[in-house]
């Protein structure tokens, strides 16, 4: 099950970004070529931001790319999964 699936132009590449279960995958949306993947906690902007206070799995609720006042911005929300 996807947490998020978005399309955006990132560094000149039209990219499909998928998140699920605290991980992310990025693909070239035109060719389908794999670009990168990883754990959200391993990305400093998530680990030091929205995932900072999570004890369980940190997953993205939404991941949206915007241009705000001419600045290319990644806007995200998170949710937490608890394991008992």
* Tokens 């290319």 found at: 72
pLDDT at 27: 92
Domain ranges of the chain: 4-81
Confidence check: pLDDT of 22 > 80: no
DSSP reduced 3-state for 77: strand
Query: What is the average pLDDT value for the chain, to the nearest integer?
Result: 76
List, in order, residues 6 or more apart from 18 with CB less than 8 Å away: 2, 4, 5, 24, 25, 26, 27
> What pLDDT band is residue 13 in, cutting at 50, 70 and 90?
confident
**pLDDT of amino acid 28:** 92
């Amino acid at each position: 099950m996807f947490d998020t699936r978005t399309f955006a132009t990132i560094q000149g590449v039209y990219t499909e970004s998928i998140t699920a279960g605290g991980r992310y995958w990025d693909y070239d949306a035109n060719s389908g070529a794999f670009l990168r993947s990883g754990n959200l906690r391993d990305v400093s902007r998530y680990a030091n931001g929205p995932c900072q206070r999570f004890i369980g799995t940190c997953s993205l609720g939404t991941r949206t790319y915007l241009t705000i006042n001419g600045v290319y911005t990644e806007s995200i929300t998170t949710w937490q999964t608890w394991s008992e």
